[in-house]
């Protein structure tokens, strides 16, 4: 887990230029692994969400490559219900790793549940329908050669489900943070490594390595 000093670090101020190409507009939130800001991509003036991770989370090139996987899996899945990631890397000045994602207006399911309570049955059915579309595409992913390479999120929970809206006002659910995703290659063995939030973890992850039926 990040060093406690990370959580005490003051947010970057509006106007701060990060990684030479993103101008911070405002602080959005801080979580266990980093902070999220609304920012502007300076050259294109596109408004984006800048997710800056704690420095000690990424200590090697191998870990940075794992972070880059988060940027790739959304493109591979190709679903409107998976938050798009546009850029990934490390700030040359500070070494702090970052992700740049689409800037969404709305709230996470976690915040909605805390502020408004349980969802109406009709709404919940629609939300789960959209989540199912995204997961079906992820689990059925095939690479360019046609080989089956299912993508598993491994940390699906209310905090990683985000409710935003289309231009016509219709609800649109986005799945966030495929950073813990695992691309299952030719093997059908699920790693016994515990990755994710225990309360929402799949039963298969609670033991040692197991073979999928």
Domains and CATH numbers, the chain: 4-102 (3.30.200.20), 107-211 (1.10.510.10)
Specify the pLDDT at position 200: 58
Euclidean distance between CA atoms 167 and 10, whole angstroms? 35
Specify the pLDDT at position 44: 96
Specify the pLDDT at position 110: 93
Euclidean distance between CA atoms 30 and 1, whole angstroms? 14
Q: Spot the catalytic one: 87, 136, 155, 159.
A: 155
Ranges of the chain with pLDDT below 70 = 1-9, 32-33, 55-60, 62-63, 66, 70, 179-213
Specify the pLDDT at position 133: 95
Structure tokens at 69: 């996987």
Structure tokens at 178: 């495929």
Specify the pLDDT at position 152: 81
Specify the pLDDT at position 151: 84
Is 155 annotated in the active site?
A: yes
The H or E element spanning position 69 is helix 61-77
Per residue in 151-191, pLDDT tens? Answer: 888 778 898 899 999 999 999 999 988 765 555 543 433 34
Residue among 187, 86, 178, 84 at smallest CA distance from 138: 178
Specify the pLDDT at position 204: 52
């Amino acid at each position: 887990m990040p060093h406690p000093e990370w959580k005490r670090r003051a947010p970057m101020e509006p106007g701060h230029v990060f990684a030479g190409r993103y101008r911070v507009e405002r602080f959005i939130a801080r979580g266990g692994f980093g902070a999220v800001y609304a920012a502007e991509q300076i050259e294109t003036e596109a408004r984006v969400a800048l997710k800056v991770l704690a420095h000690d989370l990424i200590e090697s090139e191998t870990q940075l490559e794992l972070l880059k996987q988060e940027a790739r899996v959304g493109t591979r899945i190709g679903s409107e219900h998976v938050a798009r990631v546009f850029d990934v890397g490390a700030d040359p000045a500070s070494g702090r790793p970052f992700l740049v994602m689409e800037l969404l207006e709305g709230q996470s399911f976690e915040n909605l549940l805390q502020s408004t309570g349980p969802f109406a049955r009709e709404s919940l059915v629609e939300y789960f329908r959209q989540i199912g579309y995204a997961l079906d595409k992820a689990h059925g992913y095939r690479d360019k050669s046609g080989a089956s390479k299912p993508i598993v999120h491994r940390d699906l929970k209310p905090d990683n489900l985000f409710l935003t809206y289309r231009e016509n006002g219709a609800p649109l659910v986005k799945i966030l943070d495929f950073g813990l995703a695992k691309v299952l290659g030719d093997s059908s063995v699920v790693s016994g490594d515990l990755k994710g939030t225990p309360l929402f973890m799949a039963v298969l992850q609670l033991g040692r390595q197991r073979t999928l039926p």
